[in-house]
Amino acid sequence: MTQDGVDELRLRLREFAAERDWEQFHTPKNLAMALAGEVGELLEIFQWLTPEQAAEVMDSGRADDVRDELADVTIYLVRLADILGVDLLEVAHTKLDRNHHRFPPGDVRSRADVPPVSR
């Protein structure tokens, strides 16, 4: 996802909300709750699947459902970030840089049991 792509989506979402007079409902609280709900719908697709079934979900009859829920999560995340004035790509890169230092490959390679280090 490029900055141009995120910016284009952000502007389309602004226009979409404005055309429907929905800005009044797009508060940080409401958008965060909507985002959580959509993540829940994505999780529901994977609930009760074995790890092997989950890895093959895009080859199953649920691929369109996964795409739709990922789209909903993306839409609410981009809209929330826009309302809060957060540059998603910038903060993602900053967090990845921080995690690079927090979790040196030599210390954590192939380990899922590494506790988070204080910021």
The predicted-structure confidence for 71-83, as pLDDT tens digits, reads as follows 999 999 999 999 9
| Annotation: CATH topology of 3-103 | Helix Hairpins (1.10.287)
- Cα 3 to chain centroid distance, Å, stands at 16
Neighbours of 62 (CB within 10 A): 16
Say whether pLDDT at 116 is over 70: no
- Residue range 87-107, pLDDT digits in tens: 999 999 999 999 999 999 999
Q: Which has the higher per-residue pLDDT, 23 or 2?
A: 23
| pTM, two decimal places | 0.90
The whole-angstrom separation of Cα 86 and Cα 113 is: 31
Say whether pLDDT at 117 is over 70: no
- Mean pLDDT, the chain, integer: 94
Spatial neighbors of 41 by CB under 8 A, at least 6 apart, are 69, 72
Domain limits, the chain = 3-103
